[in-house]
Copies of this chain bind each other. A is one copy, B any other.
Amino acid sequence: MAKDKLVTAITSMEEDFAQWYTDVVKKAELIDYSSVRGCMILRPNGYAIWENIQKELDGRFKQTGVENVYMPLFIPESLLQKEKDHVEGFAPEVAWVTHGGSEKLQERLCVRPTSETLFCDLYSNIVQSYRDLPKLYNQWCSVVRWEKTTRPFLRSMEFLWQEGHTAHATAEEAEERTIQMLNLYAEFCENVLAIPMIKGKKTDKEKFAGAHSTYTIEALMHDGKALQSGTSHNFGDGFAKAFDIQYTDKENKLQYVHQTSWGMSTRLIGAVIMVHGDNSGLVLPPKIAPNQVVIVPIMQKKEGVLDKANELKQRISKVARVILDDSDKSPGWKFSEHEMRGVPVRVEIGPRDIENNQAVLSRRDNGEKITVNLDNIEEEITKLLNAIQVDLLEKARKHRDSHTYTATNMDEFEKTINETPGFIKAMWCGDEACELSIKEKTGATSRCMPFEQENISDTCVCCGKKAKTMVYWGKAY
């Protein structure tokens, strides 16, 4: 795509949300398509967001004692098959390596879709005694799933993620770690991505292949669709039995370990786009914005303007990630370009501003402009970035809450999901047949059984029998 086509009108989100999304990821230069179907290229603007996400998450992991490792890319077919549910869940969507150079392999290798089997294999070798526990390992890597239809960040053949895998002496410890990581994920999403999350448990139908229980955080996108944003699984001792991971306890008895795994991916970037973005493009929370501030000089050829802009850049760089756009494009063009890329704060500085020892600060999230004295521009920028971070979360929370509905019968359910897309809170009897029936009738799936339960009614929204749980339902990405 030529540079001069970079900033053109994008489809409005009200008109076609899917096309708006695709326009934004391309025009903000987050990704490019590659010659491999369904594989995306993360360009510098997109990858820098991922680096900021990694840094924030990785620090949080390490604070809880997690250590990073790197496991092989390939899984031998026989290893994948050791846990029955797991292989059934993943075998249909893996890529198979059958040849090395010109030789046919004796055993096929799959490109990891997730690495439970590899971690189990390792743990069975290195865990012997209670002294070796817990093992709290994580890896940052890419995984491959042979998807039929793909969308940038949301569903692609290959994607970047982290996968944590832990082994514990007791069932209680494993459950505790599963919940701890879910809470860590939710805290991260709220405080860093400015996206509020519903925390809860998946129904049996929706849980991970091989897990005893799967916990999830669910977010609501601008179009009223739900996005599963991170999951944390408790495996109990199922994998330990399949892979024979045993340790001798303090009484010298052999015991199986209890395991967990938990993951988040570049899908989070899709969430950021669809929660905060607008018709001018990307809107980035300051904490993950590659550039938090862009300085746009006005009448930059006038003497002194670029000098002042460079001086401001130096000063602001002490408190924020800042760039100066001194290219030969017009200011208006630059405004659009950096709005498209979601830079949180723009600083405009021209001859008149310099005369008055001031600059204009413009917020990307709401367009507000304030004129500030240059003497304390560092503090003003810091205040503004903090305010944007807080306001984005608040705005997202309001949108989410005002698009969360209740339903007590299927008529209500169907009417609501079709007329006002969003989360629907409704009671459920616990029967998978009702889940299937709701999906068939409405397209909505059970997102989670939230930790914060409410009593919407006494009967299942679908079958009318006695209700067990309140469930969040929604159409999902």
Contact = CB atoms under 8 A, between A and B. Distances in A.
Interface in A71-89: 71-76, 79
Contacts of A109: 36, 95
A91 B100 CA distance: 10
A98 interface: yes
B76 A35 contact: yes
Contact of A42 (B39, B70, B93, B95): B70
Given A2-B129, A3-B129, A95-B100, A74 B36 contact: yes
A95 B94 CA distance: 15
Given A92-B102, A97-B95, A97-B111, A72 B128 contact: no
B3 A39 contact: no
Interface in A51-81: 51, 67-76, 79
A109 to B, nearest CB: 7
B122 A73 contact: no
Nearest to A160: B70
A110 to B, nearest CB: 9
A71 B36 CA distance: 10
A179 B125 CA distance: 45
Contacts of A44: 67-69, 137
Contacts of A142: 70, 73, 141
A252 interface: no
Interface string A303-345: 0000000000000000000000000000000000000000000
Contacts of A129: 2-3
A244 interface: no
Nearest to A73: B158
Sorting the interface of chain A by its residue count into under 10, 10 to 19, 20 to 34 or 35 or more gives 35 or more
A78 to B, nearest CB: 8
A131 interface: yes
Interface in A137-160: 137, 141-142, 144, 146, 158, 160
Contact of A36 (B72, B94, B98): B72
Contacts of A2: 128-129
A463 to B, nearest CB: 35
B48 A126 contact: no
A72 B131 contact: no
A120 to B, nearest CB: 10
Contact of A39 (B50, B68, B74, B98): B74
Contact of A69 (B42, B79, B95): B42
Contacts of A131: 3
A73 B111 contact: yes
A165 B48 CA distance: 17
A73 B39 contact: yes
Contacts of A102: 92
A380 interface: no
Contacts of A353: none
A142 B70 CA distance: 10
A313 to B, nearest CB: 16
A48 B109 CA distance: 28
Nearest to A144: B73
A415 B95 CA distance: 52
Nearest to A91: B101
B3 A72 contact: no
A239 B130 CA distance: 56
Nearest to A118: B34
A352 interface: no
Contact of A70 (B47, B73, B92, B96): B47
A111 B146 CA distance: 15
A346 to B, nearest CB: 22
Contact of A96 (B50, B99, B128): B99
A242 B298 CA distance: 43
A142 B43 CA distance: 18
A132 B97 contact: no
Given A73-B111, A74-B36, A94 B101 contact: yes
Given A34-B118, A36-B109, A94-B100, 4 more contacts: A40-B72, A74-B95, A95-B99, A97-B111
13 contacts: A3-B129, A32-B126, A35-B79, A36-B72, A41-B69, A41-B122, A42-B70, A47-B70, A73-B158, A91-B101, A92-B102, A93-B101, A100-B146
**9 pairs of A and B residues whose beta carbons are closest in the complex:** A39-B72, A44-B67, A100-B146, A42-B70, A96-B99, A98-B98, A101-B146, A95-B97, A34-B72
